[in-house]
């Protein structure tokens, strides 16, 4: 995204990530040792609402992180060839991580 829309979406995804992290940590890390067992995680991932949350959380993290890298590449890389290469690598990494994450969540 370019311009103001990209800037606003970067901030919105940051707020969503904070809310998602609070939910993640309260569910997985602060609710006792029984919440981090393999059986509990498998039961949680069998719920379609948790799957939807995890996929949305994954997409939000990927957008927020790699949009930041995209902005850094635009700012600091002056060579057009190197910029295109870095942008291609960023898009490739996003697609690979997204496919891997969705595959794991939907197993």
The pTM assigned to this predicted structure is 0.82
| Local confidence band at 1 (pLDDT 50, 70, 90 cut-offs) | low
Give 5-51 pLDDT, tens digit per residue. 888 988 999 999 999 999 888 887 777 776 677 888 888 888 899 89
Share of the chain above pLDDT 90, in %: 59
CATH of the domain at 73: 1.20.1300.10
Q: How many domains does the structure of the chain reveal?
A: 1
Element housing 34 (H / E): none
pLDDT > 90? residue 101: yes
pLDDT > 90? residue 98: yes
Question: What is the DSSP code (8-state) at residue 37?
Answer: S
10 and 67 Cβ atoms separated by less than 8 Å: yes
Q: Which domain holds residue 69?
A: 3-105
Query: What pLDDT, on the 0 to 100 scale, is given for residue 35?
Result: 67
Nearest to 51 by CA among 99, 103, 105: 105
Pairwise CA distance, residues 16 & 74, whole Å: 25
């Amino acid at each position: 995204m370019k311009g103001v829309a990209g800037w606003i979406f970067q901030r919105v995804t940051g707020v969503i990530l904070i809310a998602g992290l609070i939910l993640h940590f309260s569910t997985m890390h602060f609710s006792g040792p029984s919440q981090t067992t393999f059986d509990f995680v498998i039961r949680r991932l069998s719920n379609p609402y948790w799957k939807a949350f995890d996929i949305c959380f994954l997409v939000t993290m990927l957008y927020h992180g790699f949009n930041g890298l995209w902005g850094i590449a635009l700012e600091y890389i002056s060579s057009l060839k190197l910029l295109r290469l870095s942008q291609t690598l960023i898009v490739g990494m996003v697609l690979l991580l997204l496919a891997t994450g969705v595959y794991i969540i939907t197993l």
